[in-house]
Amino acid sequence: MKGKIMKNLKYYICAILALCILAGCATTKFDVITKPGADLTKCDNILVCSNIPDAVFRADLESRFVDNFSKNGKKATEGTNAKSEEGFDYIMDIKLLTSSIKLDHKKIGPKFPISMKLEIGKSHEVTEKATMSFDITVTDMLDKEIIFRGTVTSETEESTEAGCVDAIFSDVASKTVKKYFVK
């Protein structure tokens, strides 16, 4: 009996460690077209705008991009803070194409309450599984031409809907800026 409890405890600890490692991670895929000859790493003085209807989520997504541009030495401004498009060299327009969040029930093994006494039976964990797709364009305001257009799709699994949105916004912003706009 003691050997079975230790085996279950090891399984439980490994499952928790795996969840901790995976927590906050999102998988992001890109399908991008750039204007031939355009050097996206030279983009600076960027206005970042989004079409997300919820003002809080819109400001959050825009600020994630602005923060990532700033960390990489680029000047960027959130569309929610700009009075007009005048004075910017580039405009990044982020449109939310699709968004889905569903509950996912997972069997996770033995359940240990805070007292750490083994309960008989198995437990289920409920997580949120989210997928969001964005259409991102960057327009060179001098030439009035789109120099970057991409569909970015990201998915994650978190314990809350807010955790899903946070992970996706963070991943999309950091990976887009690093992959295309930084040397």
Q: Which two tokens stand for residue 62?
A: 């825009």
DSSP at 40: G
Give the list of residues 6+ apart from residue 136 with CB closer than 8 angstroms, or none: 92, 93, 94, 95, 148, 149, 150, 151, 152, 176
CATH of domain 2-180: 3.40.50
Cα–Cα distance for residue pair 50/111, rounded to 1 Å: 43
On the question of pLDDT at 9 being above 60, the answer is no
- B/e letters for 53-90, b = 16+ CB within 10 Å, e = fewer, are eeeeebbbbbbbbbbbbeeeebebbbbeebeeeeebeb
Q: Are 173 and 64 in contact (CB under 8 A)?
A: yes
Out of 42-46, 57-61, 107-111, 112-116, least confident range:
112-116
According to DSSP, the residues that pair with 106 across neighbouring strands are 125
Which pLDDT score is estimated for 119?
46
On the question of pLDDT at 4 being above 60, the answer is no
On the question of pLDDT at 12 being above 60, the answer is no
Q: What is the pLDDT of residues 118-170, one digit of tens each?
A: 444 445 566 788 999 999 999 999 999 999 999 999 999 888 888 999 999 99
Which pLDDT score is estimated for 103?
79
Q: Are 147 and 140 in contact (CB under 8 A)?
A: yes
Which pLDDT score is estimated for 115?
44
pTM to 2 decimal places: 0.76
**Angle, CA 54 vertex, CA 50 and CA 55 arms, to 5°:** 70
Q: Which two tokens stand for residue 101?
A: 């969040």
